[in-house]
Chain A
Amino acid sequence: GESVGLHLPTLSVQEGDNSIINCAYSNSASDYFIWYKQESGKGPQFIIDIRSNMDKRQGQRVTVLLNKTVKHLSLQIAATQPGDSAVYFCAETSGTASKLTFGTGTRLQVTL
C-alpha cells in the first residue's frame, strides 16, 4: 500500500503497552476535536471526538484528553495492538461547517 506519511513524527511502542499521542491545536474558538486513524492507502477513520465543554472522553480502549488552557489534545490507546499501527491525525472544527483543520499527524509503530 501507499505510505501516508513519509516524514511524520513516529512513536514506537511495544505490543501491550499504552500509547499517548499528542497534538497542539490553534483555534481557541474550535467546538470539536477529533482523532482519526489513517492506514496506508486508506481514508481517515474516525476514532473518537470531544466537545470543547469537556476535558475527557473515553471510548473502547481509547481516551481523549483536552486541555483548553494550553490548547493541547491527546489520544491514549490502552493495550496497544499491532492493528493500531497507522498514522494518527487530530482535527478541529468550529462546528459551523464540516470543515476540519487537521494537524500534521503522528505515525504509531507497534513492535512485537
Chain B
Amino acid sequence: ETGVTQSPTHLIKTRGQQVTLRCSSQSGHNTVSWYQQALGQGPQFIFQYYREEENGRGNFPPRFSGLQFPNYSSELNVNALELDDSALYLCASSSDYYYGGGELFFGEGSRLTVL
C-alpha cells in the first residue's frame, strides 16, 4: 500500500506565473484535500475533492483551483502567483469526504517559493 505522494518537492516561480502541483492519494482513498502551510504556522485548508467534485473550500481566492481525476489523483493550480503564496502545499487523502477518525494521511508537501 503506497502513501500519499506529491510532486514536485520544491519549485521556484516568479510573481504573476502559474503553478500546478500534483498529488497521488493513498491506495483505496477517494477524497483528497489540499492545505497551505506558511512558515511558522499551521496548515490552512484550501479545498477538498470527493469523487472528482469540489465539496468544501476554505478562505482562498478563485485563483486557487483544483482537479481530481478518475483514479483519485489530484492537482492544485494557482494562477497569478503572489509573494504570499510562498508556502508548503500539503495534500491529504482519506477514504471518505467526512472525518471518521484516524484516516487522514498527509504527503510530504511541495515547497513553493515565489520571487
Interface residue B104 (Cβ < 8 Å from any Cβ of A): yes
- B interface bracket (residues with beta carbon within 8 Å of A): 20 to 34
Number of interface residues of A (CB under 8 A): 33
Shortest distance between the CB of B38 and any CB in chain A (Å): 10
Check A44 for interface membership: any CB of B closer than 8 A.
Answer: yes
Residues of B within 8 A of A96 (CB): 98
Contact B101 A46 (CB under 8 A): no
A56 on interface, CB distance cutoff 8 Å = no
Q: In terms of DSSP, what is the predominant structure of the interface of chain A? A: loop
Of the stretches B11-19, B43-51, B68-76, the one at the interface is: B43-51
Nearest Cβ on chain B to A93's Cβ, whole angstroms = 5
Tell me the minimal C-beta distance from B69 to chain A in angstroms: 18
Alpha-carbon distance A102/B100, docked complex (angstroms): 17
Given contacts A44-B106, A45-B106, whether A98 and B97 have CB atoms under 8 Å apart is yes
Which of the segments A4-12, A14-22, A71-79 contacts the partner chain? Answer: A4-12
Query: CB-CB < 8 A to B35: which residues of A?
Result: 100
Contact residues in B for A103 (Cβ distance below 8 Å):
42
Q: A5-B40, A98-B33, A102-B42 are contacts. A43–B98 as well, Cβ < 8 Å?
A: no
Within 8 A of A (CB), among B47-69: 48, 55-56, 58
Q: Which residue of A lies closest to B111 (CB)?
A: A2
Binding site for B on A (CB under 8 A): 2-8, 31-32, 34, 36, 41-46, 49, 51, 89, 91, 93, 95-105
* Residue ranges of B at the interface with A (Cβ–Cβ < 8 Å): 4, 31, 33, 35, 39-45, 48, 55-56, 58, 88, 90, 92, 94, 97-102, 104-109, 111
Q: Would you mind naming 29 contact pairs between A and B with Cβ atoms under 8 Å apart?
A: A2-B111, A5-B40, A6-B40, A8-B40, A32-B101, A42-B108, A43-B108, A43-B109, A44-B43, A44-B90, A45-B106, A46-B102, A46-B105, A93-B99, A95-B98, A95-B99, A97-B48, A97-B55, A98-B48, A98-B92, A98-B99, A99-B45, A99-B48, A99-B58, A100-B35, A100-B45, A100-B104, A102-B42, A105-B42
